[in-house]
Amino acid sequence: MTPGLDHALLVGAAVLLVAVGAVRLSTRLGVPSLLVYLALGVAIGEAGLGIRFDDVELTRVLGFCALIVIIAEGGLTARWSTLRPVLGLSAALSTVGVVVSIVVVGVAVHFLLGLDWRLALLYGAVLSSTDAAAVFATLRRLRLPPRLVATLEAESGMNDAPVVLLVVLLSRESAGHPWWYEVGLVAYELAAGAAVGVAAGLAGRWALRRGALPSAGLYPIGVVGFTVLAYAAGAVLHASGFLAVYVAGVLLGNARLPHRQAILGFADGLAWLAQIGLFVLLGLLASPGRLDAAVLPAVVTGLALVLAARPLSVAVSALPFPLGLREQAFLSWAGLRGAVPIVLATIPLSERVPGAERLFDAVFVLVVIFTLLQTTTLAPVARRLGVTAPAEATEIHVETAPLERMRADLLQLEVPPGSRIAGVHVDELRLPLGASVTLVLRDGAGFVPGPDTRLKTGDSLLIVAIGGVRDEAERRLRAVSRRGRLARWFGEYGDDRDA
């Protein structure tokens, strides 16, 4: 190898290892890891170690590649049973909500910052998409009702598709088409993208179930290959590749594929690698010397987004759906921005739109300020609004051959302070046939419980559930979480009657 390549590998490996270690540090400090990665990129850039990087087009291409992996992982881990009830609301937030957000932010920055209408609408379009990586990483650490989590995750997985199309349209010189032509084009690309995703997902399910591959490690590669195929096929057909990736990921993630846990573990690791590379690269592209001048536009735009555009987009999108004001308020505050707006800001930059450099700088500063503000306050805001939930059963990623052969899932349940599960006997959980509490971890020691074992605060339960009763077991555990041992007396059975 050449010395230059050796040095590049040395720096790359060092950055990767520091980024991996930073996850633990950021968790302890309560700082979002994406901000640590952005800071790491700035530190090794022109203002730090002196590495100069200004290739906008390469950043755009690699950013899109990273988003494909991140969105695919979000689709693979989405449970259809929790996604289906919120699909309409998430779709409304990803379309109607996006349009409302673009208009409100565009009007605000046009009048407050004196920007021309094209650039003002570009500010709104770039910032209208919530970030999948930020949403997935943040919400999965909080105890929230599954409906809210599923809504936000589905929205962040789907809204990239229309936003990318709108940013590209606004960044390019007008071709003289009437407005209805542009609207029809966006509608076609979304519909065709969804169709391509369905085709790729179904093809992947059929092939991987019947492929009888000789190694378990080939199945995760095959799944990722089908999600990338969905994006590429969508792009070739002038459809939305990002929507195709998410739809294909949902179909593959909810299929009973061989070595499913290995697939999810591989996708999770790949998504982490994509996030690290993407955020470090974006930090490297930023020029700290220009960021001071971007603080005021970033704060003004961010306030318009958080206090006006996001709440109004949620309110308008939620009109046809039964969603309370407290839930709407939380959805408004939890619309996190992360790497996606910064990646989208490279599109007008590469198209040489006048003012695009100031747009990139403002979006970079806005993401840093408001990500730090929102992610650190999500938990107290959720408690204040009363939308927190007791500890509920969630899937943990383990690879074990017996579970694969039995087509079973391993669930984990924590009993936090104040949970009504505390004091309940194991047999009073009344889990469906095919689900069983196999292990209880208490005070650092594990034991196999009996029917008369009384659960205590701080216990951690491992529950094995065969595929056919997994959803019913989760519903029953949520019912007991709400009502305790008297759940059945309150009409909460945890079966299809409570679905």
Contact 148, 134 (CB under 8 A): no
Q: Which positions ≥6 away from 449 have C-beta within 8 Å? A: 426, 437, 439, 440
* Packing angle, helices 56-77 and 146-158, rounded to 10: 140
Same domain, 266 and 353: yes
393: pLDDT strictly greater than 80: no
Residue 88 within any structural domain of the chain: yes
Query: What is the Cα–Cα distance from 480 to 424, expressed in whole angstroms?
Result: 9
DSSP 173: P
Give the span between the Cα atoms of 229 and 225, in whole angstroms: 6
Is residue 159 within 8 A of residue 186, CB to CB? The reply is no
The verdict on residue 9 lying in a domain is no
pLDDT at 496: 44
Residue 371, in any domain of the structure: yes
- Measured CA to CA, the distance from residue 164 to residue 154 in angstroms comes to 17
Q: Is the pLDDT of residue 491 over 60?
A: no
Model pLDDT for residues 112-152, shown as the tens digit of each residue: 988 888 899 999 999 888 876 677 667 666 677 778 888 88
Q: What does the pLDDT look like over 437-454, one tens digit per residue? A: 889 988 888 889 888 899
Residue 456, domain extent: 394-498
What CATH number is associated with residue 183? Answer: 1.20.1530.20
pLDDT category at 495 given cuts 50, 70, 90 is very low
| 295 and 417 co-located in one domain | no
My answer on whether 77 and 212 are in the same domain is: yes
How big is the CA angle at 336 (ends 333 and 342), to the nearest 5 degrees?
A: 145
Co-location of 349 and 260 in the same domain: yes
Give me the chain's average pLDDT, please: 81
Domain end residue (candidates: 385, 412, 442):
385
Question: Is pLDDT of 87 > 80?
Answer: yes
Answer whether residue 153 shows pLDDT above 50. yes
Whether the predicted pLDDT of 226 surpasses 50: yes
290-309 average pLDDT score:
89
Q: Are residues 238 and 310 in the same domain?
A: yes
Question: What is the tally of structural domains in the chain?
Answer: 2
Residue 494: band (very low, low, confident or very high) from pLDDT cuts 50, 70, 90: very low
What percent of the chain clears pLDDT 90, i.e. is strictly above it? 13
* pLDDT range class, residue 104, cuts 50, 70, 90: very high
pLDDT in tens, 238-248: 888 888 998 99
- Check whether 363 has a pLDDT greater than 50: yes
CB 474 within 8 A of CB 392: yes
Same domain, 380 and 436: no
Residue 7 belongs to some domain of the structure: no
User: Which pTM does this prediction carry?
Assistant: 0.74
pLDDT of residue 130: 82
320 and 416 share a domain? Answer: no
Domain membership flag for residue 11: no
What's the pLDDT band for 490 if we cut at 50, 70, 90? Answer: low
Of the three residues 343, 360, 385, the one that is the final residue of a domain is 385
Does residue 368 share a domain with residue 299?
Answer: yes
Rounded to whole angstroms, the Cα distance separating 250 from 344 reads 24
Angle, alpha carbons 123-372-159 (nearest 5°): 45
Q: pLDDT value at position 227?
A: 92
> Of the residues 358, 385, 412, which one is the last residue of a structural domain?
385
pLDDT of 497 reads: 46
Average pLDDT over residues 251-255: 88
Q: Within 13 Å and on the Cβ side, how many CA atoms surround 239?
A: 22
CATH assignment of the domain containing 445: 3.30.70.1450
Query: Which residues pair with residue 445 across a beta bridge?
Result: 442
Residue 200 within a domain? yes
Task: Give the pLDDT band (50/70/90) at residue 336.
Answer: confident
Write the DSSP assignment of 10-23 as a string of letters.
HHHHHHHHHHHHHH
Let me know whether 380 and 449 are in one domain: no
C-alpha neighbours within 13 Å on the C-beta side of residue 432 = 18
The answer to whether residues 325 and 414 belong to one domain is no
3-class secondary structure, 2: coil
Quickly count: other Cβ atoms within 10 Å of residue 24's Cβ.
10
- Max mean pLDDT among 97-101, 290-294, 415-419, 483-487 falls in 97-101
Quick one: the chain helix, strand, coil %, rounded to 5? 70, 5, 25
Which tokens hold the place of 303?
């306030």
Decide: 436 and 464 in contact? Cβ < 8 Å.
Answer: yes
Check whether 170 has a pLDDT greater than 50: yes
Q: Based on the domain organization, do 381 and 398 belong to the same domain? A: no
Across 103-127, b (16+ Cβ under 10 Å) vs e yields bbbbbbbbeebebeebbbbbbbbbb
**What number of CA atoms fall less than 13 Å from residue 295's CA on the CB side?**
5
Place 200 in a pLDDT band, splitting at 50, 70 and 90.
very high
How far is residue 398's CA from residue 283's CA, in Å, rounded to a whole number?
A: 34
Q: What value does the mean pLDDT take over residues 216-222? A: 85
Q: Tell me, yes or no, whether 127 and 153 share the same domain.
A: yes
Is 328 within the bounds of a domain? yes
Which pLDDT belongs to residue 149? 81
Residue 8 forms part of a structural domain: no
Residue 37 has pLDDT above 90, yes or no: no
- CA–CA distance, 476 with 413 (Å, rounded to integer): 12
Would you say residue 309 has pLDDT above 60? Answer: yes
Q: Does 395 score more than 50 pLDDT?
A: no
- How big is the chain by its Cα radius of gyration, in Å? 23
